[in-house]
Amino acid sequence: MTKRLIGFLLSGLFVALSHSQVQKSDTTAVALWLARKPAIERALAGDEYFCHGERPMTVVDAFGTREDPPSVALVDDCQDGAYTDRIVAMWLERGIPVAARIRDGNGKPVPNSFLHGASVMHSRDVKLAPGSKAIFDLFNDGDQTGSSAAQCGVKAYVWNPPSRTFDLDKRLSNTESRKYCKTLRQQK
């Protein structure tokens, strides 16, 4: 492997970890969610979340507690491809884990299915941003020249209390995309 290729892989995997609004895991929130693993499995047992691959069912990250709504978790619920795992966003509704409802910029439902993983030219990740009560869906597609950020961006879905949904916030998405892509290009 060339140095450029190795650099691309590392940038795709680790750049989001230093992302401005993304913080370290809230260990109390993660423990709260891990204690609910059987309830999470029941919530994801329907056809909508059918898994064709392995089903590791792991809490990847979480924020918030019952006293701090919403309590949100990212759950790795399926090894869904050669290099990706499927991540489902969940929140506690009256103490019970439920799959989060995600909506686009027009208020229309979109699948609650994020990807995490990287190949030689592509990387996908999802991170929680507790300060914004948001879910960041990050993507990075390289090109044949080794550019690690030929196409990159962030979709920011922010908690909307009245509708109990995570709605696409175009302004935050644009702001975070600029930061994320700039970081990728600087690592080149």
- Mean pLDDT confidence for 8-23: 41
On whether the CB atoms of residues 76 and 57 are closer than 8 A, the answer is yes
State residue 3's pLDDT score.
38
Say which residue the tokens 């696409």 belong to: 168
Residue 86 CA to residue 93 CA, distance in Å, equals 22
State residue 104's pLDDT score.
97
State residue 137's pLDDT score.
97
State residue 10's pLDDT score.
38
Domain tally for the chain? 1
Residue 85 CA to residue 45 CA, distance in Å, equals 17
pLDDT tens string 64-93: 987 678 999 999 988 867 788 999 999 999
Say which residue the tokens 């993660």 belong to: 30
* Per-residue pLDDT band at 1 (split at 50, 70, 90): very low
pTM of this structure? 0.82
Residue 19 CA to residue 54 CA, distance in Å, equals 29
| Region of poorest pLDDT, from 4-13, 115-124, 129-138 | 4-13
State residue 153's pLDDT score.
95
Phi, psi of 158, deg, nearest 5:
-110, 140
pLDDT tens string 92-117: 998 899 999 999 999 999 999 999 99
* Per-residue pLDDT band at 8 (split at 50, 70, 90): very low
Q: What range does the domain containing 22 cover?
A: 3-186
Q: When comparing pLDDT for 99 and 52, which is higher?
A: 99
Whether the per-residue pLDDT at 7 is higher than 60: the answer is no
- Mean pLDDT confidence for 140-148: 68
